[in-house]
Amino acid sequence: MRKDFTARIVTLQEVYRKSHELAQRIMQSSINFDFVIAIARGGVLPARLICDFLNIQRLTSIQVRHYQKGAKELEEAEIIDPVRVDIKGSSVLLIDDVNDSGETLKAAVEHIESLEPELLKTAVLHEKSHTIYETDFTCEKLKKWKWLLHTMIWLSKNAERNEMKLLIK
């Protein structure tokens, strides 16, 4: 990975707007989901918001590690905190913030399918064009690769910036 690169800042406002838009797309499918599973950590906030927008009461999570410190990619994605609830025979919506390579989603889907849900669909806020695993529901498809940096700061409308220079040590 390059030592410096440009990243797009994704604010809480954008996460809220894109989660609402994604929920509307999911609602158009007429599927009633029993569970939402968030991919921790980035998928937790969108999953929580989408549960509210779609009135889905059951929310749980899975944690998959595909990157180390400094955004160093691991050879293979690994489940480090599996789903611990019984979803057998249920309809499940798996949510993450970004689908980059697709390896994280692929690993999560394989794990969840082993738990025998009746239906499993995937959704993300941002999907990059080079992914190996396309989602069922996407809010935004990104044609040009860019690192997305999610902030936990609620910025005033005048303070919102879209890009910043990052220096990785």
Q: For residue 121, what are the domain limits?
A: 15-141
- Write the CATH number for 91: 3.40.50.2020
**pTM score, two decimals?**
0.82
CB of 50 within 8 A of CB of 22? yes
How far is residue 108's CA from residue 121's CA, in Å, rounded to a whole number?
11
Give the three-state DSSP class for 111. helix
pLDDT at 159 over 60: no
Instruction: Look at the chain and report how many structural domains it folds into.
Output: 1
pLDDT band of 103, cuts 50, 70, 90: very high
Question: Is 155 inside a domain boundary?
Answer: no
Q: What is the pLDDT of residues 9-44, one digit of tens each?
A: 777 888 899 999 999 999 999 999 999 999 998 899
Question: Is 160 inside a domain boundary?
Answer: no
Question: Is 8 inside a domain boundary?
Answer: no
Give the three-state DSSP class for 148. strand
Of how many residues is the chain composed?
Answer: 169
